[in-house]
Structure 1
Amino acid sequence: MSTNPEIANSIEAAGLQTNYHDVGQGDPVLLIHGSGPGVSAWANWRLTLPDLAQHFRVIAPDMAGFGFSARPANYTYHMNNWVTQAVGLMDALDIQQASIVGNSFGGGLALALAIKYPERVNKLILMGSMGVEFPITEGLDQVWGYKPSLDNMKALLDIFAYSRALVTDELAELRFKASTRPGFQESFSSMFPAPRQRSVEMMASPVEAIQALPHHTLIVHGRDDKVIPLQNAYTLHQLIDQSELHVFGQCGHWTQIEHAKHFNQLVINFLQS
């Protein structure tokens, strides 16, 4: 039994061995993490899982190339394959429909999944979300272009978080060590090669398809986000007919960490409404 809290259950999802957390009971909610170096579902959602699990069955997988899911030698890191993995996980767990909470990269993935498999999605929550085209920010370019070093990780944490109280040497050390685990940087560096604007476009869904989404959608964004521009949230709010928007002040890209309790309650209220 692993003592690492990032490692939980393992199941084959669309042919890919997938590490996932599965906690709580009730209506299923799928949490899809972002794309920072060394990220895992646990690192992304550790403050979200306990609160949501009091009301729902919460599933948080490591997507292919991240965390402790498999990294097949010839795997193509592309939106279509990540969507296939996510739906494959739902199939493997016999979940016909789930609400989806997507963070950044995970928001783009959630949108793509809802467009391709609308009947599999109940409600959508998009947090600091990708999924529409935008000129890549300097912050995102630095995140995706990360080269492992403690100083580089400290610089990234400064980009991610609004409050320096969160950006401790201890956190930087933990995230740096996570980014240098065997296989982590190899898969990460192959996902978003320069010029990285192409990856922003790969993660975007067609505007007409987003406009056609029938799902109730909550859009959440940090006003001071340096990674994904706040304009993305306004664009998605305009495109998705049944959407509502919540913007947190004094908040960077880590809404679920910087304003954890408020974010969790916002999600719970929305999913229960």
Structure 2
Amino acid sequence: MAMSTSAQATTADELSNRSPELETFNYHYKVYYHALSSQRQNMHMAYVDVPPNPNSQPKNRTVVLMHGKLFCADTWTDTIKTLSDDGYRVIAPDQIGFCKSSKPERYQYSFQQLASNTHELLQALGISRSTIIGHSMGGMLAARYALMYPEATEQLALINPLGLEDWKALGVPYKGIDSYFEDELGFSATALKDYQRRVHYNGEWRPEFDRWIEMQEKLFSGPHRTMMAYHAALTYDMIYNEPVVHEFEYLKVPTTLFIGLTDKTAIGHGASPAVMATLANYAELGKSAARRIPEATLIEFETLGHSPHLQAPQQFYPALLKALKP
């Protein structure tokens, strides 16, 4: 299995005394680390690299998976297996500031920066062209990656991406990093579970979803809670300030939108009830995005929410594999 040459001697045990990197949360697939220098700091980017299943017919294609704000590379476990079994090589990074990757002391977060970091990782792995799949915040990042590196993007797939609407233009007031930080200091696993049940899964909850709550709880527990809250605040500010909706016309790659219609996810902190009532209309947002993206296909899931690949894998994966065929 290919490794980033810049980090080939680094192990998870050697990283255990650094900033919180989910040391006690084991991923299903082996984790590698890519060393990079960004914004005058040395850091490392964790990633999973899974080859095609030996029993499959290799497609000689690579798929890159971009996680959401409340998720990590390991959230893609079933997706990785499905794609590997179908003959794809699969790369799933943890973005800087998230999960098993570095939490730098200071960082100017932007989707351009995260896309650049990911592109550097792929170049280090010798991958010049790939299919990019993004979920939630990762959908915003995937779209930005395709806009920045169209020649390196074979196909684009967006799973209930954020950024399909411009919250500030629609009346959501600016909250600010300090206010986000105070909110994140109050992290509660119970509150997160209630939020995801209500907003992501249309009131449904299954035991397998508990793993992703545990993952976030491990990040925010212990002496590093303040650090994690600050990084979470910075990335909320990035999401609010950098919607991709205004640039959909410039996407130059075939794009598939997978939209769970019961999703209620939106950045709406401080918005009036009247404004909130206009947000997160994914039935319309998906259609609007599909009209504006030059080579777009829209696939809707009427009864599913923010994470259709987690909520109904038996329904989602056949649609995904079909969409990825050339």
Shorter-normalised TM range: 0.7 to 0.9
Higher normalized contact order (CA 8 Å, seq sep 6+, divided by chain length): 1
Identical counterparts, % of pairs: 22
For residues 178-236 of structure 1, the C-alpha deviation after alignment (integer angstroms, 9 at most, x for no partner) is 34256476345434469x6x6444332363x4212221110011110011521332221
Equivalent of 1:58, from 56, 72, 90? 90
Corresponding position of 1:257: 310
- TM-score, with length taken from structure 2: 0.72
Q: Equivalent residue for 2:62? A: 28
Is the 1:237–1:243 Cα contact (8 Å) retained in structure 2?
yes
Gaps of 5+ in 2: 1-10, 13-24, 53-59, 267-279
* Distance change in 2, residues 1:258/1:242 (3 Å): same
Which of the pair has more CA radius of gyration? Answer: 2
**In 2, distance between residues paired with 1:184 and 1:243?**
41
2:46 aligned residue (19, 22, 29): 19
1:102 to 113, 131, 134: 134
- Aligned residues of 1:160 and 1:253 also touching (Cα < 8 A): yes
Structure-to-structure mapping, 1:137-148, within 5 angstroms: 145-146=183-184, 147-148=186-187
Partners of 2:211 and 2:293 in 1: CA distance: 36
Task: List gaps (5 residues or longer) in structure 1.
Answer: none
CA RMSD of aligned residues (A): 3.0
Alignment of 1:1-273 (within 5 A): 4-5=26-27, 8-13=31-36, 15=38, 16-25=43-52, 26-36=60-70, 39-42=71-74, 44-54=75-85, 55-135=87-167, 145-146=183-184, 147-158=186-197, 159-162=199-202, 164-166=204-206, 170-171=210-211, 174-181=214-221, 183=224, 186-192=227-233, 199-205=238-244, 207=246, 209-228=247-266, 229=280, 230=282, 231-273=284-326
Aligned 8 A contact 1:66 1:188 in 2: no
Q: How far did 1:95 drift? A: 0.6
Classify 1:168/1:270 alpha carbon distance in 2 versus 1 (closer, same or farther; 3 Å): closer
User: AA paired with 2:293?
Assistant: I
TM value normalised by structure 1: 0.84
108-117 or 164-173, which deviates more: 164-173
Further displaced range: 4-13 or 63-72:
4-13
C-alpha displacement of 1:175: 4.0
Write the distance in 2 (CA, Å) between the matches of 1:193 and 1:30.
Answer: 24
Report the CA distance between 1:261 and its aligned residue: 2.7
Distance 1:92 1:204, change over 3 A: same
Q: How many residues were matched structurally?
A: 264
Q: Deviations over 1:128-167 (max 9, x none)?
A: 11234333799xx9x9955322321222221221352426
